[in-house]
Amino acid sequence: MRRSRQSGLRQLRAHYPNQGAAVNAMDAGAAGAADWRAGAVRLVFAANRADEEMPMFALTDLFSVDGRVALVTGGATGLGRICAEALLSAGARVLIASRKAEACEAAARELSAIGPCEGFGGTVADEAGVAALAAAVRARTERLHILVNNAGISWGAPFATYPWKAWERVMAVNVAGLFALTRDLAPLLFAAASPDRPATVVNLGSVMGTVTQAESAYAYSASKAAVHHLTRILAAEFAPKQVTVNAIAPGPFATAMTRFALGDEAGAARAAHASPMGRLGRPEDIAATVIYLAGRGGAYTSGAIVPVDGAAAAFAPPSLFGQHD
């Protein structure tokens, strides 16, 4: 019994170094096995209660990206600009790239009012464009903590006349370009990552990659489903390198890409009515999600497809058997 008791006391001292005096008092005062074990239970309970009174974390730390370097593709407009603004507001240095260099540089100048932002031309539409974009990033930083793969295009046309070139172009930008840029920038992500603070890849998917509707954008919907699956594949491959990979799957947001459907009051109202939550997405819906995934709070989340769609992807269809409440 004496050996068991001494072993137990050593463990208590090791696990609760701040309770040394209490352990010594318990050792001196306990007459038998039942006494010291009861005392051990009381000590552990008291120590845990004391720990609970201490804050485990600061909310500002959980959602901060202070000192981190981020790249947002397609960051001059739409959801990409929202992501860039959110990361800047949370303390990151942000690089934004898009096909239209002048517009991107102008956007960066505006965003620099929030924090350090650099804009330059870049495309993921072909191999040469990806290589040039990756080189431009390497020229600006040796480490990349956050990569937001936002650049994307859509193409709508009737099923009977949907063209081959739509598939080539959309899949090239939305899938092949996303993959190739991530591959080329992976060394910078790995260099920035650590077990305490992983690097982060955030891919922009879509609710259209989840629901079985095309809305005449067949290639777009298929490409976003591919982005979701590729996200999970890369999450598994990058985990040992301490890099998280997740996707955001937005529902309807008013952007340049959705202007054809949401660009007027009637279209916006129609889309809002079709949403289970009865509204379109708002900038803060995307901003908060990207900050969570890129911040310390999302450090153990990887391989997730985060729906930011007002429950559109989860909304059940009408009963197949005609049974309604």
Task: Give the per-residue pLDDT at 1.
Answer: 46
Q: Which residues of 184-215 are buried (b: 16+ CB within 10 A; e: fewer)?
A: bbbebbeebbeeeebbbbbbbbbbbbbbeeee
The angle, 0 to 180 degrees and rounded to 10, between the axes of the packed helices 283-294 and 78-89 is: 50
**Shared domain check, 201 and 64:** yes
- Contacts of 46 by beta carbon, 8 Å cutoff, 6+ apart: 19, 22
More confident residue, 18 or 176: 176
144 and 70 co-located in one domain: yes
Nearest to 88 by CA among 105, 113, 120: 113
Catalytic residue among 16, 162, 218, 220: 220
Domain that holds residue 169: 59-308
- Which tens digits make up the pLDDT trace of 231-275? 999 999 999 999 999 999 999 898 878 777 777 888 888 888 888
Clarify whether residues 143 and 287 are in a common domain.
yes
Determine the Cα–Cα distance for residues 171 and 177; give it in Å rounded to an integer: 8
User: Is residue 220 flagged as an active site residue?
Assistant: yes
Instruction: Name the DSSP class of 206.
Output: -
Burial of residue 260 (number of CB atoms within 10 Å: 0-12, 13-18, 19+): exposed
pLDDT at 149: 98
In this structure, are 246 and 260 located in the same domain? Answer: yes
- Domains in the chain, number: 2
Of 227 and 18, which is predicted with more confidence?
227
Residue 313 lies in a domain: no
Using a 10 angstrom Cβ sphere, with 0-12 exposed, 13-18 middle and 19 or more buried, the burial of residue 21 is exposed
Inside any domain, residue 322:
no
Let me know whether 47 and 193 are in one domain: no
Exposed, middle or buried, 37 (CB in 10 Å: 0-12/13-18/19+)?
A: middle
Helix (H, G, I), strand (E, B) or coil at 312: coil
CATH code for position 255:
3.40.50.720
The residues with which 120 forms a beta bridge, in sequence order, are 97
Q: Are residues 177 and 282 in the same domain?
A: yes
pLDDT at position 33 over 70? no
Q: What is the pLDDT of residue 151?
A: 97
Q: What span, in angstroms and rounded, lies between the C-alpha atoms of 282 and 48?
A: 42
Q: What is the mean pLDDT of residues 73-91?
A: 97
19 and 118 inside one domain: no
Residue type, 10: R
76 and 32 inside one domain = no
Considering the domain architecture, whether residues 92 and 151 belong to the same structural domain is answered as: yes
Look at residues 28, 22, 30, 24 and name the one whose alpha carbon lies nearest to residue 46.
22
Return mean pLDDT, the chain: 88
In-domain check, residue 47: yes
Same domain, 203 and 134: yes
Q: What is the pLDDT of residues 115-124, one digit of tens each?
A: 999 999 999 9
Helices (H), the chain: 2-15, 20-29, 33-53, 59-62, 78-89, 101-111, 127-140, 164-171, 178-192, 218-238, 259-262, 265-274, 283-294
